[in-house]
Structure 1
Amino acid sequence: MLQKITQSFIIYIIGIITLTLGISLTIQSHLGASPFDALLVGLYRTFGLSIGSWEIVVGFTIVMINAVAMKTKPELFAMLTSLVTGLGIDSWLFIQGSLLSPENWLEQSVLLLFGIVFSGLGIAIYLESSFAPNPMDRSMVILTDKTGLSFGKSRAIISIVLVIVALFFQGDVGIGTLLNALCTGVIIQALRPYIVSFKQKYVVRKIKAS
């Protein structure tokens, strides 16, 4: 049992590290981050602190809102996801600060492309861990349950609201925001079968062998 939890945690951490690499690359591209990350950049530009710090603050706030909506206690593991993601974003941005400085549209586009791919890959990996929920994903599930809308429509509504709020705070909204919204789900869907296969082949088999 302990080994299974450890394996799940390792997959979770690898997924978050990959995801935050993708987030930082899209931010560094200056072509527009995902709706949620665009809001974080806007809060950073308006109030200071770091982008990762706002990930933690906003994430914790969403966890509390979710708890009120579900009339349950706040999900501590969801807070863990926000904390680890925030630390990951700031760490990658610090590392990339002296290494990446796109000087033209082509270089920005390359960073955006890799950012979207790594973000999708990271989400696909950490979803397989089933270790800790993402506060925003939980909000989409709650909205779906409360309204009867499809998950896709709930996701679209929340994304639109995030973009509007991000624009109010001068967030990082651009062509990258639209591409993130359109492509990330497709990438996750395309990569998950390979990740599931890898997990079954190496992780689950190793647990059973021990």
Structure 2
Amino acid sequence: MDDTPEPEPARTLLGLQTMTPRQQLRAGRLPRRLTQLFVGLTVFGLSMAMLIRGGLGMIPWDVFHYGVASHVPLTFGTVAIITALVVLLLWIPLREVPGLGTIANAVWVGVAVDVFLALLSAPDGLLARIGLMVGGIVLNAVATALYIGAQFGPGPRDGLMTGLARRLPVSMRVIRTAIEVVVVLVGWLLGGVVGIGTVLFALSIGPLTQLFLPPLVVRVDPPSSPTPRQARET
């Protein structure tokens, strides 16, 4: 009789599973999850456009995107897509595996933000600008919870953060802060807009996402652990 204890199931956070791309597609509730993924990514693009048009400070990575876009003949969204694809290349030495949501995030958000930038104009009044800033921050948290809750993998920048956290002897919070300080500084030097909105976003996006995430996580079947033979054949 084999007395070897069964391996404990992987711990999950709020029902979020760690899955390969194949497992993501086989986990069930696919129409609901795909719809939620692309709604979330679209709303994410809208939130970015709102903060840009508000003119009171951008999302840290958008400070970088805006700074680069002001020096090249490319749209803001195109720069965001190229940046995301470059970040994905950094996943290779970190041995991170992108999911469907990762690739969709890299492309769809950039397209969405260009569309909404064309539809939104910068308001004149301070109250309207504050409204765009606050609304953009809240919508960004909702959008983040939507696409993470769809369980198709992290975005390119999120994966860079988690990949570094697994391999460096520092906390994820320190790594995220360091990455965002660098991109904000470089973006600001290139002409990106840093303001009160940037600070408020940095301080509030974590708590707001944590608030919206639990009801938006789509429960799926946990991935089964492959046998050694299956692992060799994969």
TM over 0.5: yes
Query: Which residue matches 1:163?
Result: 184
Q: How does 1:1-210 map to 2 (within 5 A)?
A: 1=26, 4-70=29-95, 75=98, 77=100, 78-96=102-120, 100-196=121-217, 199=218
* Counterpart-to-counterpart distance in 2, 1:2 and 1:130: 9
AA of the residue aligned to 1:75 = P
* Counterpart-to-counterpart distance in 2, 1:140 and 1:148: 13
Aligned-pair distance for 1:3?
A: 6.0
TM-score (norm 1): 0.85
The answer to whether the 8 A contact 2:99-2:152 is kept is: no
Could you list the per-position Cα deviations for residues 51-100 of structure 1 after superposition, in whole angstroms to 9, with x for gaps in the alignment? 11011100000000121333x7x73732331101111111111121xxx3
Could you list the per-position Cα deviations for residues 151-176 of structure 1 after superposition, in whole angstroms to 9, with x for gaps in the alignment? 21111111111111111211121111
TM-score (norm 2): 0.77
Aligned-pair distance for 1:148?
A: 2.4
Which has more helix, going by share of residues? 1
Percent of residue pairs bearing the same amino acid type? 25
Q: What SS is found at the alignment partner of 1:149?
A: coil
Unpaired segments ≥5 residues, structure 1: 205-210
The answer to whether the 8 A contact 1:80-1:132 is kept is: no
1:120 and 1:76, CA in 2 relative to 1: closer, same or farther beyond 3 A? closer
Larger Rg, first or second structure (1 or 2): 2
User: Cα RMSD over matched residues?
Assistant: 1.9
Deviates more, 1:125-134 or 1:76-85: 76-85
* Counterpart-to-counterpart distance in 2, 1:176 and 1:65: 28
* Counterpart-to-counterpart distance in 1, 2:214 and 2:30: 22
The answer to whether the 8 A contact 1:67-1:75 is kept is: no
AA of the residue aligned to 1:87 = V
